[in-house]
Amino acid sequence: MKKHTLILFALALLLAGFTGCNSNSVKDIEGNSYRTVNIRTKVWMAENLKTTKFNDGTVIPLVPENDSWTKLETPAVSWYNNDPDANRKPYGALYNWYAINTGKICPVGWHVATEEEWSALYYLEGSGSVGGKLKEAGTAHWKSPNTDATNETGFAGLPGGYRSIQGVFNYIGISGYWWSSTPFNDTNGLFYNLRFKSGELYKSRSEKFCGFSVRCVKN
């Protein structure tokens, strides 16, 4: 290939936003790699966040004790049942809303999905339920019947459960809970929920001390 042709080819790749063979994934500050997927006009992580550090390298406090977790109003992270060996890889970590609110939990150039970005998923094209299009299909992680699950979008939503304000872990295999970065009021944040017996995507609010999963969206 002639020199000027190579130059034109390189310029074309840059203009197209080409970033190499790994353009369909992103890494966090710890080197964890996440698959990504294009949904409507946004690029989403197709896996739950699992970092234990903010993107400036600061450690997110790991809080395993129930008493310490209760009504904590500073950033915190935990693993379901305090068992990272069993739950880190498939389900990621559980964060309280105060960790979300730092604006530093996602990789640089990414952010926690907002209410607006989650709500846009209700307008996915095609037939079938919205939640079903977002849930990982089958029962490898979801309890049967995993109603309407097709994972048509590639979002691969998993039932990672949650950690309550009392520090208790609940509903792994049954439901997935994801924080929005949007607050509801001074004490509650907005979250979105997928369930094993439903094909819907639910929106609700919860105390900011709760521990939910996180999905990041590219800026």
Mean pLDDT in each 10-residue stretch from start to end of the chain (219 residues)?
A: 43 34 79 96 97 98 96 96 97 98 98 97 90 98 98 97 97 98 97 98 97 98
User: Degrees (nearest 5) of the Cα angle 162, 166, 167?
Assistant: 50
Q: Output the six-digit token pair for 59.
A: 């450690």
Q: Which domain holds residue 122?
A: 25-218
Query: What is the model's pLDDT at position 181?
Result: 98
Kindly state whether residue 4 falls inside one of the protein's structural domains: no
Query: What is the model's pLDDT at position 210?
Result: 97
Query: What is the model's pLDDT at position 16?
Result: 34
Rounded Cα distance between 85 and 108, Å, is 27
pTM of this structure: 0.88
Rounded Cα distance between 215 and 125, Å, is 21
Kindly state whether residue 11 falls inside one of the protein's structural domains: no
Q: Tell me 141's DSSP state.
A: S
Rounded Cα distance between 76 and 1, Å, is 54
Rounded Cα distance between 92 and 122, Å, is 24
Kindly state whether residue 10 falls inside one of the protein's structural domains: no
H/E segment holding residue 57 = none
Greatest distance between any 2 Cα atoms in the chain:
68
Rounded Cα distance between 199 and 194, Å, is 8
Residue type, 213: S
Q: Which residues contact 131 (CB under 8 A, 6 or more apart)?
A: 148, 157, 194, 195, 198, 199, 200, 201, 202
Kindly state whether residue 81 falls inside one of the protein's structural domains: yes
Kindly state whether residue 83 falls inside one of the protein's structural domains: yes
Kindly state whether residue 2 falls inside one of the protein's structural domains: no
Neighbours of 14 (CB within 10 A): 10
Kindly state whether residue 5 falls inside one of the protein's structural domains: no
Radius of gyration of the chain (CA): 18
Number of domains in the chain: 1
By the 8 A CB rule, do 206 and 32 touch? no
Kindly state whether residue 34 falls inside one of the protein's structural domains: yes
Q: Which residues pair with 203 in a beta bridge?
A: 192
